[in-house]
């Protein structure tokens, strides 16, 4: 069956079923999920905030409760149909900003809640077996072990690691509070590999990450992002803007589905986006397409930028980035001439050895064109000022792991740089690390150089993991604790609006909310005075106090209370949130810490240019980690309905290159770097450059892509790893 006919049939099915958005449909096409029934996915009517419905002749009642899905960033509204204490159905909440949309992951969450392999009770490892224990016994063991390690080695010998799997917003602040009460500086998180570098790059430049205003824009750059896979609602807005006449530029090493709608696609070599941004600035400045008034009044260091970009002509950068010079000029002119314009930047730019300066170059491109806090540009949103509960006054003098190597990361985050933890554990430098408490994290799959992390976990004296399932990391634990899902605990959401989300159902079996574990462990460790709250609502009231809002008030506002300051060009009143109150093209803070104050391009540590001898043997550029629409990072692969859609980990490879390597579509393939090798299936795609291959992240052995990635050479400013630009080789599995 031809592709056009498949598209027509599937689109008709989507239409008749009310199913997937166009964005979701195309993203699933990319991952080979075409042959599956799509019924049940998509837009479904919403309902009242909370009501009971009694069927004719039925004794039972159905309670309809609106909540918000917290699996991924878009935060879609959902309605849970509850029978007794059980979720019977999940639908979209029409009145919420997501307008009734739910993705396959959101609609499959009932399967997750009642998954047969979900952890049901605390367990203690005895030899190679697991023994069921009570919560009291588990807490007593943990407190005794941690206090013993603190007494012998110091509090810094314990690392508390917070992950993404429990999708909690508030609990991470209580975890930081526990660390400071206990006295360890080693609070680490997945913020060492996701979002943190982007936050640093933008905050160093103008104090915030702007939000694209697709509704009013005339030009959009989708840069290192695939919203049709990661945020279909944003993708729909982008396509609507395109239909309304907006120009669309896509910058990505892979021809994502959105590329088909683009006016220009720049198929950049992974890791060279910084050079590309500087080359676009070269064109925009030399052709006077920038906003002179904004630059003169609201930037610092523009004259130095002018000198810098002279060295990044389109001809020079064409050789660096593998993009024709005329296409670089076309994209630059399109962005510079069509105002207002906005940039949708994904996490792909976070994950290189030159990441913060790369992100700064993109931020500066947006600023000098006058596209900040204007209708159709990047909107500046205010943040909710909740009470600081970190116990910052008790923050220990001893610095966390990674602070010496990345002092600015520490100043921004007050966290350990998790990518340094395996080496610190193994070398005991700067001091011994003897224990880890991991809440909702899976560092064996999410951190670089997984083989080293495996050795580190084996060396630790004591490991605790709280999660929904027995993860690869949890298998190394001494104590495993069953966590509650977001349906089974209260939370606050503070993105644009502030909302209180009550729990929808009671805790599953003996699972507990992560906040409750943190509170109870804090008390067991001897810090009861710092955890005085009897429940989450009381703790949330403490957090909300500076806003003059209470949980009871939020309960009466099911759609939340808006906190963002309205209007445009708010910087004219208050300036930007930088030391100079202006856009800092030249960053004195970076200079103070010994980094280049300008966003100078540095070649990735492992590339055909920086390591030509290595490239003779490892000739392919590896990029990893693009989002799969049915999975969120390491999660959801045990959900049967989702696993049917994307059953296998793959190597995305151009057929031309595969033919050279004597690899057939579907063959078992070994992919290797200097760190190790993994096994996946070959998947042919003409949408990728023959010199580049891609492997998705989140799969366990033997397909854990982070066996291939490096923990030794990191971005000097943020400490982020190069997940997106490495050298590898591939061969057919024998």
CA distances from 681 to 137, 423, 694, 729, 731 (A): 45, 31, 12, 14, 11
User: For the segment 550-570, what is each residue's pLDDT rounded down to a tens digit?
Assistant: 999 999 998 888 876 778 999
Same domain, 295 and 370: yes
Shared domain for 616 and 475, answered yes or no, is no
Looking at the structure, do residues 335 and 371 belong to the same domain, yes or no? yes
**Residue 213: Cβ-neighbour burial (10 angstroms; 0-12, 13-18, 19+):** buried
Cα–Cα distances (Å) from 674 to 617, 712, 728, in that order, read: 10, 12, 8
User: Over the chain, what is the mean pLDDT?
Assistant: 91
CA distance 259 to 326: 18
pLDDT, residue 28, reads 53
Are residues 466 and 524 both part of a single domain?
yes
| Per-position b or e across 632-663, b if 16+ CB within 10 A of its CB | bbbbbbbbeebeebbeebbbbbbbebbeebeb
Q: Are residues 62 and 137 in the same domain?
A: no
Residue 156 tokens read as: 């810094």
- Do 241 and 358 belong together in one domain? yes
Whether pLDDT at 56 is above 80: no
From the list 627, 606, 625, the residue with the least C-alpha distance to 675 is 606
Beta carbons within 8 Å of 652's beta carbon, 6+ residues apart: 254, 683, 685, 688, 693, 694, 695
* pLDDT tens track for 226-239: 998 888 889 999 99
pLDDT exceeds cutoff 90 at 58: no
CA–CA distance, 169 with 440 (Å, rounded to integer): 12
- CB count in 10 Å sphere of residue 385: 10
On whether residue 605 sits in a domain, the answer given is no
Q: According to the model, what pLDDT value does residue 60 have?
A: 54
What is the pLDDT, as a whole number, of residue 26?
52
What is the tens place of the pLDDT at every residue in 16-30?
333 455 555 555 545
Average pLDDT over residues 589-607: 97
Q: Measure the CA–CA gap between 447 and 697, rounded to whole angstroms.
A: 11
Any domain includes 544: no
| CATH classification of the domain holding 187 | 3.40.50.740
331 contacts 321 by C-beta, under 8 angstroms? no
Predicted confidence band of residue 653 (pLDDT cuts 50, 70, 90): very high
Q: Are residues 146 and 275 in the same domain?
A: no
Q: 245 and 344: one domain?
A: yes
Q: Is the dihedral of CA 54, 55, 61, 62 positive or negative?
A: negative
Q: How far apart are CA 325 and CA 319, in angstroms?
A: 9
The mean pLDDT of 686-708, rounded to a whole number, is 96
Q: pLDDT at residue 57 above 60? A: no
Please report whether residue 638 resides in a domain. yes
Under the banding of pLDDT at 50, 70 and 90, the label for residue 99 is confident
* Confidence at 39, pLDDT banded by 50, 70, 90: very low
Regarding whether 291 and 147 lie in a shared domain, the answer is no
Q: What is the per-residue pLDDT for 703?
A: 97
Between 6-10, 193-197, 249-253, 430-434, the lowest mean confidence (pLDDT) is in: 6-10
pLDDT digits (tens, 9 = 90+) for 342-389: 999 988 999 999 999 999 999 999 999 999 999 999 999 877 789 999
Least confident of 116-120, 273-277, 628-632: 628-632
pLDDT digits (tens, 9 = 90+) for 414-446: 999 999 999 999 999 999 999 999 999 999 999
pLDDT band at 97 (very low <50, low <70, confident <90, very high): confident
- Least confident span in 91-105, 412-426, 678-692: 91-105
- Tell whether 200 is covered by a domain: no
In this predicted model, what pLDDT tens digit does every residue of 268-311 receive, in sequence order? 999 999 999 999 999 999 999 999 999 999 999 999 999 999 99
pLDDT at 24: 52
User: How far is it, in rounded angstroms, from Cα 13 to Cα 9?
Assistant: 6
Tell me the pLDDT tens digit for each residue of 122-143: 999 999 999 999 999 999 999 9
Same domain, 84 and 141: no
Asked if 719 and 412 count as a contact pair (C-beta separation under 8 A), the reply is no
Instruction: Report the CATH number that the domain containing residue 626 is assigned in CATH.
Output: 2.40.40.20
Instruction: Identify the domain containing residue 396 by its residue range.
Output: 123-193+385-489+510-538
95 part of a folded domain: yes
Q: Is residue 306 part of a domain?
A: yes
Whether 425 is in a domain gets the answer yes
Note whether 711 and 635 are same-domain residues: yes
Mean pLDDT of all residues in 326-347: 96
113: left (phi over 0), alpha (psi -120 to 50) or beta: alpha
| 467 lies in the same domain as 363 | no
Tell whether the model's pLDDT for residue 54 goes beyond 80: no
Could you tell me the CATH number of the domain that includes residue 57?
A: 2.20.25
Number of domains in the chain: 5
On whether the CB atoms of residues 64 and 50 are closer than 8 A, the answer is yes
Helix, coil or strand: residue 29: helix
* 639, part of any domain: yes
Residues 512-533: pLDDT tens digits?
A: 999 999 999 999 999 999 999 9
Residue 10, pLDDT above cutoff 70: no
**In which band, very low, low, confident or very high, does the pLDDT at 11 lie, cut at 50, 70 and 90?**
very low
Q: Model confidence at 98, in pLDDT bands (50, 70, 90)? A: confident
Q: What is the CATH number of the domain that holds 340?
A: 3.40.228.10
Distant-in-sequence, close-in-space partners of 566: CB < 8 Å, separation ≥ 6: none
pLDDT of residue 73: 80
Q: 314-321 vs 325-337: helix axis angle to the nearest 10? A: 110
Q: What percent of the chain has pLDDT over 70?
A: 91
């Amino acid at each position: 069956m031809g592709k056009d006919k498949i598209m027509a049939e599937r689109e008709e099915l989507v239409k008749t079923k009310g199913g997937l958005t166009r964005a979701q449909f195309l993203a699933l096409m990319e991952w080979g999920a075409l042959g599956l029934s799509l019924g049940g996915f998509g837009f479904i009517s919403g309902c009242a905030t909370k009501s009971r419905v009694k069927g004719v002749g039925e004794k039972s009642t159905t309670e309809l409760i609106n909540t918000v899905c917290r699996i991924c960033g878009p935060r879609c509204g959902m309605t849970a149909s509850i029978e007794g204490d059980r979720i019977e159905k999940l639908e979209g909440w029409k009145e919420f900003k997501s307008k009734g949309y739910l993705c396959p992951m959101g609609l499959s969450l009932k399967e997750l809640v009642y998954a047969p392999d979900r952890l049901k009770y605390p367990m203690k490892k005895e030899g190679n077996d697991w023994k069921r224990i009570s919560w009291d016994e588990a807490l007593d063991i943990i407190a005794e072990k941690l206090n013993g390690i603190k007494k012998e080695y110091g509090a810094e010998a314990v690392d508390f690691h917070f992950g993404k799997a429990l999708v909690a917003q508030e609990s991470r602040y209580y975890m930081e509070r526990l660390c400071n009460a206990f006295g360890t500086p080693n609070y680490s998180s997945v913020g060492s590999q996701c979002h943190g570098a982007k936050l640093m790059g933008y905050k160093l430049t103008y104090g915030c990450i702007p939000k694209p205003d697709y509704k009013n824009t005339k030009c959009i750059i989708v840069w290192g992002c695939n919203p049709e896979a990661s945020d279909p609602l944003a993708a729909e807005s982008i396509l609507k803007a395109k239909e309304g006449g907006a120009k669309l530029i896509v910058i990505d090493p892979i021809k994502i589905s959105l590329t088909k709608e683009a006016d220009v696609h720049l198929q950049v070599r992974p890791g060279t986006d910084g050079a590309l941004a500087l080359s676009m600035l070269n064109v925009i400045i030399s052709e006077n397409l920038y906003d002179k008034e904004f630059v003169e009044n609201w930037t610092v260091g523009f004259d130095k930028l002018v000198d810098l970009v002279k060295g990044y002509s389109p001809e020079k950068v064409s050789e660096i980035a593998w993009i024709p010079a005329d296409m670089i000029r076309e994209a630059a002119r399109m962005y510079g001439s069509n105002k207002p314009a906005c940039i949708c930047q994904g996490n792909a730019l976070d994950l290189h050895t030159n990441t913060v300066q790369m992100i700064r170059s993109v931020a500066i491109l947006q600023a000098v064109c006058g596209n900040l806090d204007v209708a159709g540009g990047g909107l500046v949103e205010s943040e909710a000022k909740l009470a600081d509960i970190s116990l910052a006054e008790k923050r220990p003098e001893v610095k966390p792991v990674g602070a010496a190597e990345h002092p600015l990361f520490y100043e921004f985050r007050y966290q350990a740089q998790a990518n340094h933890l395996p080496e610190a554990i193994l070398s005991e430098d700067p001091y011994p690390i003897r224990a880890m408490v991991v809440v909702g994290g899976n560092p064996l799959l999410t951190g670089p150089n997984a083989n080293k992390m495996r050795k580190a976990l084996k060396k630790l004296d004591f490991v605790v993991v709280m999660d929904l399932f027995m993860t690869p990391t949890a298998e190394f634990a001494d104590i495993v604790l069953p966590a509650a899902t977001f349906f089974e605990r209260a939370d606050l959401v503070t993105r644009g609006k502030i909302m209180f989300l009550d729990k929808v159902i009671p805790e599953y079996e003996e699972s507990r909310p992560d906040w409750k574990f943190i509170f109870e462990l804090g008390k067991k460790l001897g810090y009861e005075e710092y955890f005085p709250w009897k429940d989450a609502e009381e703790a949330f009231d403490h957090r909300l106090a500076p806003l003059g809002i209470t949980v009871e008030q939020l309960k009466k506002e099911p759609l939340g209370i808006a906190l963002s300051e309205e209007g445009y060009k708010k910087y004219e009143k208050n300036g930007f949130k930088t030391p100079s109150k202006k856009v800092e093209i030249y960053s004195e803070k970076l200079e103070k810490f010994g980094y280049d104050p300008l966003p100078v391009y540095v070649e990735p540590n492992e590339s055909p240019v920086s390591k030509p001898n290595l490239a003779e043997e490892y000739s392919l550029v590896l990029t990893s980690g693009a989002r799969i629409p049915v999975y969120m990072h390491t999660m959801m692969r045990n959900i049967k309905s989702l696993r049917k859609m994307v059953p296998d980990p793959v190597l995305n490879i151009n057929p031309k290159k595969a033919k050279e390597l004597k690899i057939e579509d579907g063959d078992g393939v070994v992919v290797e770097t200097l760190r190790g090798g993994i096994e996946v299936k070959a998947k042919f795609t003409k949408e990728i450059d023959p010199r580049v291959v891609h492997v998705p992240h989140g799969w366990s052995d033997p397909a854990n892509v982070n066996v291939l990635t490096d923990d030794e050479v990191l971005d000097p400013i943020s400490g982020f790893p190069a997940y997106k630009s490495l050298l590898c080789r591939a061969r057919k599995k024998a």
